Amino acid sequence: MYDQSFNAKSLERQIRKSDFTKLRQLRDDNHRTRLVEQSVERSKYQIGNFNSFRLSKIGKRTVCKVTKYSDELFLRKLNNNVTELANTRNIDRDSIIESIKTILKEGTEYRVYRLDIKSFYESIPTNILLEKLEEIKQLSSPTKSHIQTLLSAFAATGNSGVPRGLSISATLAEVLMRDFDEAVRTHPNIYFFSRYVDDIIIVSSGEENKRKFIRWIKAILPAGLTLNSNKQTTKERACLHQEKYNTYSITSNLKSINFEFLGYEFTVTDPDKDQKKTPRTVSLDIAQSKVKKIKTRIIKSLLDFNKNKDMQLLDKRIAFLCTNFSVIDADRDRKRLAGIHHNYHQVDASTSKALPDLEEYLTKVISSGQGSASDTFFTLTSAAQRRKLLRWSFIRGFNEKKYLSFSKAKLAEIKRCWAYA
């Protein structure tokens, strides 16, 4: 039977292998024991205030961070209790993408809804969330009580909803959304449904009334949550319907449609009329929102170089963007991979527009001297230095699956100037 209690044994199990790298004092048995004892002591009292957490702003959003390791162990245990008893889902990005591709290739009529929940974490109705937790009968009373006081202490700081950034935040959001997910998934006209935090995709038969269906979606969302009208599109068969502020405009028939989801841009193309039995073509590219993000990081890298004149660091940043990298995931005893190919491995390089676009952009900002960042960079560097930077290539990094290895400290240094980009 799963142990929900907050004792030394259960809290010590929350220590991860990666923690020993981040907090070297854990290697000392006596120090580790003291931290676990502090966490046990912490669990005996309710969270009366938010003094143990640090709040910061990222854009317009408030992000919460734990300041004490003993509190982090306590929150991890809270999270594991809810995860275990609520049986929350694990999302596999690749399987979702494959499912969408398979469904859209079929010759049946379809409609694609791309929806977004506005200010998701901030808008979560904590009273309803606590009711959902109360419905999990096996979940211990101390766990429920600690979560309630955590949310109350966060609200006392003038914030609303569930705090972003804590290990338990995503789990609580999943508990709240379970009934919504199940209602949409079992709708008779739905072929496929997936929600990634606040990002929703629905593929339907197209037989439902669009406006009534959107109204139904809005109605079954937990009270306090609403759809973001500016990020709401509906695409069907060969027609595009853009919903904005509850009004629709319908374009003429199109042979293909495109939409973004989970970092990819999908393009669905119908076969020619004389090839009706031929499946639709579904091609994937890097989403334009991700392309924009990469371009922003290139510019931020140049701006940082213009200040520090560190060519070696700039070279590593461009290499990082153009290739792939691995870091050791100590918690799972394996390498964790990421990068231009690994993150977008379902893209067909031969048809991709994003990869040549990124290649051209990189060449332009490094070589042209046009634009404020590029102009200053051009005056500070030699032709040889610029040529050396251009040995890195998005297309080659993708096609040749180039992998580089960076230490965690070096990765942190590389990413430092990209904060929030």
Q: Each residue of 299-337: b (16+ CB within 10 Å) or e? A: bbbbebbbeeeeeebbbbbbbbbbbbbbebebeeeeeee
**Band of the pLDDT at 421, cuts 50, 70, 90?**
low
Of 126-130, 159-163, 169-173, 275-279, where does mean pLDDT reach its minimum?
Answer: 275-279
* Average pLDDT value for residue range 304-318: 96
For 397-407, the pLDDT digits (tens) are: 999 998 898 88
CB neighbour list of residue 6: distance below 8 Å, 6 or more residues apart: 39, 40, 43, 44, 74, 77, 142
Confidence at residue 122, expressed as pLDDT on a 0 to 100 scale: 96
How far is 193 from 111, CA to CA, in rounded Å? 12
Which token pair is 159?
A: 């914030």
Confidence at residue 406, expressed as pLDDT on a 0 to 100 scale: 83
How far is 399 from 4, CA to CA, in rounded Å? 48
Confidence at residue 90, expressed as pLDDT on a 0 to 100 scale: 74
Of 61-75, 98-112, 240-254, 404-418, where does mean pLDDT reach its minimum?
Answer: 240-254
For 65-98, the pLDDT digits (tens) are: 999 999 999 999 999 999 999 988 777 889 999 9
How far is 121 from 277, CA to CA, in rounded Å? 45
Classify 284 in phi/psi space as left (phi over 0), alpha (psi -120 to 50) or beta.
Answer: beta
Of 6-10, 238-242, 385-389, where does mean pLDDT reach its minimum?
Answer: 238-242
Proportion of the chain in helix, strand, coil states, percent, rounded to 5? 50, 20, 35
Confidence at residue 43, expressed as pLDDT on a 0 to 100 scale: 92
Mean pLDDT across the chain:
89
**Band of the pLDDT at 102, cuts 50, 70, 90?**
very high
For 323-356, the pLDDT digits (tens) are: 998 876 655 556 778 899 999 999 999 999 999 9
Total residue count of the chain as it appears in this document: 421
Confidence at residue 278, expressed as pLDDT on a 0 to 100 scale: 75
Pairing relation of β-strands 53-58 and 324-329?
Answer: unpaired
CB neighbour list of residue 381: distance below 8 Å, 6 or more residues apart: 311
**Band of the pLDDT at 223, cuts 50, 70, 90?**
very high
How far is 286 from 268, CA to CA, in rounded Å? 15
